[in-house]
A = this chain, B = another copy of it.
Amino acid sequence: MSTESHLCEAAAFDEAARAAVYAAIFSRRDVRSQFTDRPVDEALLTRLLRAAHHAPSVGFMQPWNFLVIRDGGVKAQVQAAFARANAEAEAMFPEDRRPLYSALKLQGITDAPVNLCITCDRTRGGEVVLGRTHNRDMDLYSTVCAVQNLWLAARAEGVGVGWVSIFHDTDLRAILGLPDHVVPVAYLCIGHVDQLYDQPELQVKGWRDRLPLEDLVFRDRWEQR
């Protein structure tokens, strides 16, 4: 069969479908506090993982694995690793920022019914990977694309996702038993939500504002403004 027979129509979506995609993009939030107790069933979780698995990957490397964590003992260890790192983090901020920093809830590890670690196997696909010959980090970037696919699918399913990044890499590796060639790219808290903030939580709570898009767009090359 010729490869051209695999080409098919790729029209723009109709207005309602286009609006649905933008709604997922604009209403998606980084969730820490809104998880409900409702269990996340396996069929739903598999739909989310399938969305992640259909992310683009360099050289079709598909470097990701999905560690689905429901065990309370593992969650408790991860929570403790977060608490240690977060205490260090707080001390790094200027004194006037510390009260607000410590008032922010930055994770929902034990609140969320499911935790998910998405990893990147840096050896998958062998020594030389198409498209990764000149930028070794393309496999990590592919893995992040999988995270974002899952995040948007989750929004459409009424499921909230929060990305927790305040860990020592060595702690997470030890708890999850990761081999050296595997990088824990994202640690996600996942659960059903009934409510979300209408803007990013860090904006609602006065940490930082959204930048004007027009200030970020340049023409043809970098501009000094």
Which of A's residues lie within 8 Å of B, judged by CB?
A: 3, 6-13, 16-30, 34, 46-47, 49-51, 53-56, 58-62, 64-71, 74, 85, 88-89, 92-94, 101, 104, 106, 119, 125, 128, 130-135, 137-138, 140-141, 144-145, 147-149, 151-153, 155-160, 163, 165-169, 175-179, 182, 185-186, 193-200, 202-205, 207-208, 210-211, 213, 216-222
Contact = CB atoms under 8 A, between A and B. Distances in A.
A82 B29 CA distance: 37
Given A85-B134, A148-B55, A68 B218 contact: yes
B213 A53 contact: yes
A182 B222 CA distance: 10
A3 B56 contact: no
Given A56-B151, A119-B222, A144-B144, 13 more contacts: A6-B204, A8-B197, A17-B19, A17-B156, A18-B157, A59-B208, A68-B220, A89-B133, A134-B165, A135-B169, A137-B140, A144-B148, A152-B152
If over half of A's interface residues share one DSSP class (helix, strand or loop), that class is named, otherwise mixed; here it is mixed
